[in-house]
Structure 1
């Protein structure tokens, strides 16, 4: 059965690494639902978080292929254990003086924030699970979403910190 999988890849912070990882996925016919890349806890290393779909056997194959890439130091299947995953979205919504208080009431339970106010729009920031972001977008759609920008998922494993070898 095809499921969503979250994979963490620790790589050398070098030009072309992201291209090689994305190309590997494309060459093997796998879609990337989300990819985020940023600095890691170690200088000179970046962490990529990739969300894709597939069965367990397929994900194992993808992970083996990642290990073969130059500049890949560690590959971890985060969704195979406990993890924390979050996404950030900025949502620009059309508004009038009459609808601003309604929109405020909608975003409050989501712990979302208004980060910009324009004459005829609001920019709302929401952070949380993809399901939470999707739910807020659904509720704001009737007001007219003018622009939407999502970061994709970033994730980290939960649990005890292991000593470095």
Structure 2
């Protein structure tokens, strides 16, 4: 007996849609109804007249599951285009996080030193805390947050991943 196991991979999808009420709920509902997980979701209008939005979805699944997700998204009426950036090729992914750290003395100095190493900017400071803004790949942000736990992490807010293809051609 041969047991076939499918490889589960993380994929970043770019979904271009009409900017209309309820589309985000319909897309999230499609994922929920089929038991697919959304690891990250961001959305913003991308045209001057605000008529079109780009939704960036990070999800995981086998090749078969990803095909199903893309096919289901393509069937939704206000969807213009679905692009699997992971399968498409070279692309750029970034995330932004606000990281609040409280501490005094050596912990405060260490937080500033680490922020410098990770190119995090201080966007708010009091005598007892800092709020850092850090951007980059998810792994960089995960590492920065982990290090801040050791020096007084209070709170983290993350945007989720945004992504775009590399090169001259639009996605």
TM-score computed with the length of structure 2 as normaliser: 0.91
Give 1:45 deviation, angstroms: 0.1
Structure 2 counterpart of 1:32: 38
Structure 2 counterpart of 1:75: 82
1:116 aligns with 2:128: no
Unaligned 5+ runs, structure 1: none
Deviates more, 1:14-23 or 1:139-148: 139-148
Give 1:100 deviation, angstroms: 2.3
Structure 1 counterpart of 2:15: 9
Distance in structure 1 (CA, Å) of the matches to 2:167 and 2:86: 13
Q: Alignment partner of 1:70: what SS?
A: coil
Give 1:97 deviation, angstroms: 4.1
Distance in structure 2 (CA, Å) of the matches to 1:115 and 1:160: 33
Structure 2 counterpart of 1:93: 101
Distance in structure 1 (CA, Å) of the matches to 2:169 and 2:61: 29
Misfit runs of 4+, over 4 Å: none
Deviates more, 1:113-122 or 1:149-158: 113-122
Unaligned 5+ runs, structure 2: 1-6
1:21 aligns with 2:11: no
Structure 1 counterpart of 2:3: none
TM-score computed with the length of structure 1 as normaliser: 0.94
Q: Is the 8 A contact 2:93 2:164 kept in 1?
A: yes
Give 1:94 deviation, angstroms: 1.1
1:136 aligns with 2:138: no
In the alignment of these two chains, the number of paired residues is: 162
Structure 2 counterpart of 1:51: 58
Q: Alignment partner of 2:113: what SS?
A: helix
Distance in structure 1 (CA, Å) of the matches to 2:28 and 2:21: 13
Superposition RMSD in Å: 1.2
Q: Alignment partner of 1:143: what SS?
A: coil
